[in-house]
Structure 1
Amino acid sequence: MAERPTTSWRHGIAHEAEELAAGTLDPDCACMAGLFPEELLAATDAVLDTFEGDFPGLAGASDTQILAMVERVVLALNTVNEAHNGGAFETDEREQLCDYIDTSLTEHGVDVVALTARHGLGRYQLADKWRKW
């Protein structure tokens, strides 16, 4: 199953905390906890919980239904990003979120390549229509 980006971000925070505690990381170089405050992680997880809750409905879903699902998750992530002054998701985080959406859909039987092609989109443009982050 696709790993949520928030899981990776939490691992990074924990690893950095271990390095700080061991004295192997200069505190001036520690950034993970600042980049990913708990409120951001919780809000992002809430969005992904809702997205994952739609997975059972993917079996036999139409393109319109799948695209509506993608639109909902992307718009909700836009809201999270806006709540953090438009800076919640930087380049790496954006790529991780888009990959998570794509991989999750694929794991639940959606042929994302065919879906995007049918709608005149490039392979990695599934979220672009709605994405503000």
Structure 2
Amino acid sequence: MNEGGGKRSDDEGDDLLWNDFESCAQSVTLLYRNPSWKAMQTAAASTTQLYKSGIEHKKKAYDRGFIAGRQTLAREIYALRRYNGVSLDDIWKLLSKIVCAAEYGYSSRSPTPEQTDSPAVSFFQQ
């Protein structure tokens, strides 16, 4: 992936979001100065556009983060396999644990709570 091309796309997305924000701010200011039906329509349209741009920007940022996370995971697994001599079975176990946690909505980063003999602690861990 080309870093420069990705950065340009990020900047264009930021510029678009900023332009939509400025347009929305100007139209809302105009609405307060001159409360008319036309100003109301313009403010509503620019606010809706800002909302849509924000949602789109958020989706793109999430996708970039997701891809970066997968690439990092792949690099870490490759390094484990290459330098530590980790067996392929151990890697499959790790990956299946991550996939199963993702399918059931569990976070793979948080460890499972340790089981204790205390009934009160067990009750609060449930």
Per the normalisation by structure 2, the TM-score is: 0.31
Relative contact order (C-alpha < 8 Å, sep 6+): which is higher?
1
Larger of the two Rg values belongs to structure: 2
Per the normalisation by structure 1, the TM-score is: 0.30
Between structures 1 and 2, the one with greater helix share: 2
